[in-house]
Structure 1
């Protein structure tokens, strides 16, 4: 990378967790990095310019991109990382809550991507890395709505990649498994709790908490994002970490009935 004229990266949700680690990894690799947070004055890694952006607001996204272009004149890499979680029975969430989840995890990706594409097309090159999850390709009991947002991001990303290749732009996915971040602490809760799901929901909370505590460090995912951003011939999907690679392999090659039983067992559900 040209140190006197470095590529410019924009990372959404860079104030903590995977986004923070990714912004730092990209900065260390020679990118000029702009990170975003929803609230003002969030601290990012040293050397990363932090800007405020609400990915659910068109005007906020447009202002963000204008600010980056005013400062740097280009955007070579977009990492769509901003997202929120939701744990509970699918029946326990109203359509309004589901819509709000999609507004961040899916339409937020769409807004920021659409905002940077005119610049990338003009440049004749660009890379977009969308943070998905293993829950983007496997079932996720008591995370059905969150999983559905990641399934949507996967379909969107793979389809968009075909549309943008003629312009020198590639779109790729990074799929982490459980990562040791504050994700569990920041999970949204269902807005209409039902007693019939109390026991199972509590069980899934415990499973998730333990899995996150023993999960990969955010830096593992950040290194995968860096590879996805810099590979000269990118793959469509990059599994981030050992567990993600194992799950991806099993999903592809294990018979559906056996995978189903294993998933239920891993999640403490009756087989």
Structure 2
């Protein structure tokens, strides 16, 4: 799959809003055949994209949607995983059921789709898998422990997956970023009931993180990067969108753990961590 030489068949998981919707519009405008998924299309699908019903938390739905795309298009060249919502709250407040819901959204849902699309990609000896990640995989965000853990798990998963699928002409990458205006902050799941012990620290941090989402980069910035990944001759292990995402790994590597944690704690208005 080298350069922008012809149309790709692309399935976007989570195309009803945010980055997924912007990516569907970008790819369709460039002549790719785009299948955009949502659990239920309550709004018009992106212009140029063919709607698909897909619930990433349900095995049967995942396989049915992939089979539908293969039946209609005859092949599948690219999976873009941009589905999910995040959990906010202290780790102690987060029930195992809610933790599993978070992992379902960002990690297990991606795994289900990988298992569903790989047989076709192996048979055609080509394909690529593109996953929306986060800089939280590099530096975990307080009061978003499950969100951070799910993104870190996804990154490790993709790193290992790249070895396994390379012999079949299939590749994978992650898109790391920081703040982006997607509406995710307003759809965040809250751990309930909240514990009073955490309230004075928890609420300002959650609101600060949500405000950076509301005031962040437009999803088109990420859509452009994903479009480049779809059309690139070769995939790097990850793309980083925005200055913060590009500098954070170097900062994390160069600054000793104690000072780094102190800087990160101050960023969120917390006492200096140890």
Q: Which residue does the alignment assign to 2:96?
A: 95
- The reply to whether residue 78 of structure 1 matches residue 79 of structure 2 is yes
Structure 1: gaps (5+ residues):
none
The one-character-per-residue Cα deviations of 1:185-228 (angstroms, maximum 9, x if unpaired) are: 00000033211111212111221133123311101111111222
Using the alignment, how far apart are the partners of 1:102 and 1:143 within structure 2? 13
Residue matched to 2:165: 164
Partner of 1:224: 225
Q: What TM-score do the two structures reach when normalised by structure 2?
A: 0.94
Q: CA offset at residue 48 of structure 1?
A: 0.5
Structure 2 partner of 1:238: 239
Distance 2:74 2:243 in 1: 38
Are 2:126 and 1:117 equivalent residues in the alignment?
Answer: no
TM-score (norm 1): 0.95
Tell me which residue corresponds to 1:144: 145
Residue 2 (structure 1) shift: 5.2
* 5+ long unaligned stretches in structure 2: none
Cα RMSD (Å): 1.3
Say whether the 8 Å CA contact 1:42–1:50 is kept in structure 2.
no
Displacement of 1:39 in angstroms is: 1.4
Is the contact made by 1:93 and 1:191 (CA closer than 8 Å) also made in structure 2? yes
- Residue 28 (structure 1) aligned with residue 46 (structure 2): no
- Mean Cα deviation higher: 141-150 or 93-102: 93-102
Whole-angstrom distance in 2 between the partners of 1:229 and 1:2: 11
Distance 2:55 2:214 in 1: 29
- Partner in structure 2 of residue 250 of structure 1: 251
Change (3 A) 1:167 1:217: same
Per the TM alignment, residue 41 of structure 1 is displaced from its structure 2 partner at its CA by: 4.2
What CA distance in whole angstroms lies between the structure 2 residues aligned with 1:207 and 1:2? Answer: 43
Does residue 269 of structure 1 match 2:270?
yes
Give aligned pairs, total.
Answer: 269
